[in-house]
Amino acid sequence: MTVQQDQQHGTTVTVTAAVSATAVTSTDEPELLDLPDLPEARESIEAERAHRKRQLAIAFRIFARYGFDEGIAGHVTARDPEFPQRFWVNPYAVHFSRIKVSDLLLIDETGKVVEGERRTNKAAFWIHSSVHHARPDVAAVAHAHTIHGRAFATLDKLLDPIIQESCAFYGDHVLFDEYKGLVLERSEGEAIARKLGEKRAAILRHHGLLTVGRSIEEAVWWFIAMDRACQMQLLADAAGSPRLMPDEEATLAHRQFGNANMARHNFTLLADLVMEQEPDVLD
């Protein structure tokens, strides 16, 4: 596997995939789940870059289908496999349902667009650059302003282990309990990254959700799963007093539903529909 020296930060990271074993990379159990193992990386930098750009453009189409779009808000980023201090992101003010591979922007460590014809917004840069810098294991970061995610973010608490799918985040997410409006400064992005630590997701109080993954597929699926977990808990809490799973049950469910390979399979199901029904996404 090829490695690349990050000249800005003086660290060495793999360029074909982020493979550090942290909380975001829960132990995969393909023999238990009976799932073939999907690859995390391609064999060359060029192939990996092309793959990440395709999956990133598809991710925006998927988010549009789920209603994770609201005006100009929301962004998903993918680290460039050759230049790990740079990342690909959606352009400013282009609806998620219209984003194509050719629309994606490459942003450098200063926030400058080094490839692409449009611009992005400051919040996309400060949040994502801070997380990517703090987490060399992370290849992708997803953040959007969803209905259920924002509603849950007002409650000032973490998700409870009440549904097996919710346990993908059991002990693996944080509450960022600061709010200073739009994230327009480096210090605010760095504060989010510090709070996230080695976890796979964060609830941003009065703001929404953020997820990370060692692949775009993982980060996007965790975001979908977390928004659904928020929705389920809001419904359950409104109906009564939901039973909390004991630690043994929740830990088992976390190992199974927090499985990275399963996340990649789940994303692939959605991606296949997009490519079949909206082939222009690959333009």
Beta carbons of 143 and 206 less than 8 angstroms apart: no
Q: What is the pLDDT of residue 126?
A: 84
Q: What is the pLDDT of residue 3?
A: 37
Would the CA dihedral through 268, 174, 24, 246 be positive or negative? negative
The span from the CA of 76 to the CA of 124, in Å, is 8
Q: What is the pLDDT of residue 183?
A: 60
End-to-end CA distance of the chain: 29
As assigned by CATH, the class of the 3-11+37-278 domain is alpha beta
Q: What is the pLDDT of residue 71?
A: 83
The span from the CA of 31 to the CA of 147, in Å, is 36
The span from the CA of 213 to the CA of 269, in Å, is 18
Q: What is the pLDDT of residue 182?
A: 64
Q: What is the pLDDT of residue 184?
A: 60
The tens place of each residue's pLDDT in the chain, 283 residues long, gives: 333 434 333 443 333 333 333 344 444 554 456 777 877 777 899 999 999 999 999 999 999 999 999 888 899 999 999 999 999 999 998 999 999 999 999 999 898 999 998 888 776 788 899 999 999 999 999 999 999 999 999 999 999 999 999 999 999 999 998 876 566 667 888 999 999 999 999 999 999 999 999 999 999 999 999 999 999 999 999 999 999 999 999 999 999 999 999 999 999 999 999 999 999 999 9
| C-alpha gyration radius of the chain | 18
Mention every residue, 6+ apart, whose C-beta is less than 8 A from residue 92. 72, 118, 119, 120, 121
Q: What is the pLDDT of residue 18?
A: 35
Mention every residue, 6+ apart, whose C-beta is less than 8 A from residue 34. none
Q: Name the nearest CA neighbour of 96 among 142, 137, 154.
A: 142
Angle at 274 between CA 268 and CA 278, to 5 degrees: 155
Q: What is the pLDDT of residue 274?
A: 98
The span from the CA of 95 to the CA of 71, in Å, is 8
Q: What is the pLDDT of residue 178?
A: 83
DSSP β-bridge partners for residue 174: 202
DSSP β-bridge partners for residue 176: 204
Q: What is the pLDDT of residue 268?
A: 97
Alpha carbon of residue 177 to chain centroid: 20
DSSP string, 196-209: HTT-SEEEETTTEE
Domain boundaries, the chain: 3-11+37-278
The pTM for the full model equals 0.87
The span from the CA of 271 to the CA of 221, in Å, is 11
Q: What is the pLDDT of residue 33?
A: 65
Token pair of 77 as six digits: 């980023």
